[in-house]
Homo-oligomer: A and B are copies of this chain.
Amino acid sequence: MLINGKPGNSISIRDRGLLYGDGMFRTMRAVRGEILHWPLHYLKIQHDCLALGITCPEEALLRVEQDTLLAQHPDCVVKLIVTRGMGTRGYAPPANGEPTRIWDVSPLPQYPADNALRGVKVRLCDLRLAMQPRLAGIKHLNRMENVLAAAEWHDPEIVEGLLLDNEGHVVEGTRSNLFLVSQGVLVTPKLSRCGVAGVQRGRILAWALQHGVTLQIRDVGLEEVRQADELFLVNSIIGLWPVRELEQRRWLDFPLATRIRHELEGRST
């Protein structure tokens, strides 16, 4: 672990990341000493810091820190947290705050190969996401909704829960973005009111645009999810998992999901 460039595993109890969840984070995959798709992750770090009014750490600085970290842990899950830093008492951000940079590593999870090949079982969460356009898309540290949603089930067969918003739109999984193939069109929920716009989702959008795959980013209703030709979940750690089972519905074939998975795994951007 590194805190502001120095080895360490703790932060001040006056860091605003703890006090208010005032910060953002990224969970990334490192392979042979390199964070996969780092340029895209850094763009997202810039975007999220800008949206929160946090001074974004320089890329060169983060590069130095990740090199230090990955020299010891070349293959791992890497988490970077950027908080607004220390604060005086009170919610208002300090005028000249220095962000806190926190790096942590954990072992790469060993998921069953069938998750990607044959798909996974998912459920619908009871919790409905609140709609906050000011925070939509951002991977900020206010993740209580995800915690409550993930606490809803204990069946290890179920690998993810789908989240709807207050108005009944299907938005995402608790830790993944959602795509549908619906009447031959690739569809993903728009994330203008809630949800996290992940890097893996962005890669798929870019791929679809480059390859002339018809793509729609829009509101998605539950009935459309149930009727979809294919359904799949993505994030930077799992990659892409098709959905095999949701409530009474079963899916056996995922031709577009499989094609996209192969494309993503073979690409460096």
Contact = CB atoms under 8 A, between A and B. Distances in A.
Interface of A: 1, 3, 8-22, 25, 52-53, 77, 81, 83-84, 89-93, 102, 104, 106, 109, 127, 129-132, 134-135, 140-151, 166, 174-175, 194
Instruction: Please provide the 9 A-B residue pairs with the shortest distance between their CB atoms, ordered closest to farther.
Output: A21-B21, A130-B130, A142-B142, A130-B132, A91-B150, A10-B10, A20-B143, A92-B150, A91-B146
A12 to B, nearest CB: 6
Copies in the complex: 2
Contacts of A143: 19-22, 91, 142
A149 B91 contact: yes
A107 B248 CA distance: 59
Most buried by B among A9, A19, A109, A149: A19
A144 B20 contact: yes
Given A22-B147, A134-B127, A151-B53, A89 B102 contact: no
Nearest to A109: B89
A90 B238 CA distance: 13
Q: Which of A13, A20, A81, A91 has the most CB of B within 10 A?
A: A13
Contacts of A145: 132, 134-135
Given A131-B130, A151-B92, A166-B131, A1 B13 contact: yes
B52 A150 contact: no
B20 A146 contact: yes
